[in-house]
Amino acid sequence: MSYRVASLLPSATEIVCGVGAEADLVGISHECDFPESVRHLPALTRARLRPVRTSRDIDREVRAVLQNALAVYEIELARLEAARPDVIVTQDLCDVCAVSFNDVCAATAALLRQDIRIVNLHPTRLDDIWADIGRVADALGRAAEGAGVVRALQARVSDITTRGAARAARPRVVSIEWLDPVMVGGMWMPELIERAGGFPLVTRPGDHAPTVTRDALLALTPDVVLIKPCGFPLDRIIEELSLLRTSLPWESWRAVQEGRVYVADGNAYFNRPGPRIVESLEILAACLHPEAFEDFRSKHRASVRRVDADLKPHAF
């Protein structure tokens, strides 16, 4: 039996495709862009934000919308109705990342169809991501496929963890989730750092990403800094490299002096709790231990740049 599936966030779309149900998708969010083959599908959501460019302006716009008790994203109700989904995959983890769960419930009620199944994702740790893949697969009648996907992903994580643990050094790592204001990566990021053979600074597994002052950052001594703002592809991050000097204690950090600051695609990787979280771990491992993970450096060369003390990007 096949289902008509509406996915309202990018990671869910990747999960649906990962378990072999891409042909069942009848609609996606306006931010879903992977795999390339889904881009022709109707966009069932839209952003309420004004078109602003800088990190600071985006942050202000999001905060203003939320302060007015509005959701950052809206559902295109007419398109959702036309799509006639049997299953809607959404999340209630972050109202800045996708439409709110309450809005999804309200939209479903407005369609007056009681048989629409809502699969609600809420990942904060790696185990939650595996569980979400399983739950989506179960809802689509693809439990066996989902279990196979999870086993394969876990095996890859285990292999990277073993390789990372074999390294003598365990570098201290700061992962930057947003640049203005500075937010440090939480949720599954500390786990990724640990599994890549590093020691996460500031956050622990499952923590929400905190906003951190420059003075607090100055007290840190990272060996490696990874910058991957949520939703920003690599070229977009490079546009704002000047922020590194003002937002971070640029002149003081050892990682800067030793050329161990990296910027990575934060749209495709790290911030999507789906199958490509393992590619995110590969990138991280190559940043922490480049001599031991040359295979991943080569694989992800197009998605990462090393930034020197003069704010110039270099090939990974």
Domain boundaries of the chain, sorted by first residue: 5-122, 169-309
Cα 30 to the center of its chain, rounded Å: 16
- Where residue 84 falls (left for φ over 0; alpha for ψ -120 to 50; beta otherwise) is left
Location of structure tokens 């879903």? 32
Q: What is the 3-state secondary structure (H, E, C) of 79-91?
A: HHHHHCCCEEEEE
Q: What is the mean pLDDT of the chain?
A: 91
Q: What digits encode the pLDDT tens for the residues 212-237?
A: 999 999 999 999 999 999 989 999 99
Query: Residue 112: how many CB atoms within 10 A of its CB?
Result: 8
User: Hey, do 5-122 and 169-309 end up sharing a CATH topology, with the first three levels equal?
Assistant: yes
| pLDDT at residue 256, as a whole number | 97
Q: Which helix (H) or strand (E) holds 148?
A: helix 143-165
Cα 31 to the center of its chain, rounded Å: 12
Residue 58 pLDDT class (50, 70, 90 cuts): confident
And the tokens for 265?
């695609």
Minimal CA–CA distance to 186: which of 164, 212, 221, 162? Answer: 212
Euclidean distance between CA atoms 112 and 81, whole angstroms:
10
Residues β-bridged to residue 117? 87
Residue 69 pLDDT class (50, 70, 90 cuts): very low
Residue 109 pLDDT class (50, 70, 90 cuts): confident
Q: What digits encode the pLDDT tens for the residues 131-187?
A: 999 999 999 999 999 999 999 999 999 999 999 999 999 999 999 999 999 999 999
Q: Lowest-confidence range among 74-78, 184-188, 198-202?
A: 74-78
| pLDDT at residue 54, as a whole number | 79
| pLDDT at residue 248, as a whole number | 96
Q: Lowest-confidence range among 20-29, 88-97, 282-291?
A: 88-97
| pLDDT at residue 113, as a whole number | 67
- Is the confidence at residue 57, as pLDDT, over 80? no
- Amino acid making up residue 123: P
Which one of 94-103, 112-121, 174-183 scores highest in mean pLDDT?
A: 174-183
| pLDDT at residue 313, as a whole number | 96
The answer to whether the CB of 145 falls within 8 A of the CB of 172 is: no
DSSP string for residues in 248-310: S-TTT-HHHHTT-EEEE-TTTSSS--STTHHHHHHHHHHHH-TTT-HHHHHHTGGGEEEE-TT
The answer to whether the CB of 225 falls within 8 A of the CB of 260 is: yes
- Is the confidence at residue 59, as pLDDT, over 70? no
Residue 60 pLDDT class (50, 70, 90 cuts): confident
And the tokens for 218?
């100055």
The answer to whether the CB of 15 falls within 8 A of the CB of 274 is: yes
Euclidean distance between CA atoms 310 and 199, whole angstroms:
26
What is the rounded average pLDDT of the residues 282-295? 97
The answer to whether the CB of 197 falls within 8 A of the CB of 167 is: yes
- Is the confidence at residue 48, as pLDDT, over 90? no
Portion of the chain with pLDDT greater than 70, in percent: 89
The fold of 5-122 is: Rossmann fold (3.40.50)
The fold of 169-309 is: Rossmann fold (3.40.50)
Which position has the higher pLDDT, 97 or 249? 249
Residue 77 pLDDT class (50, 70, 90 cuts): confident
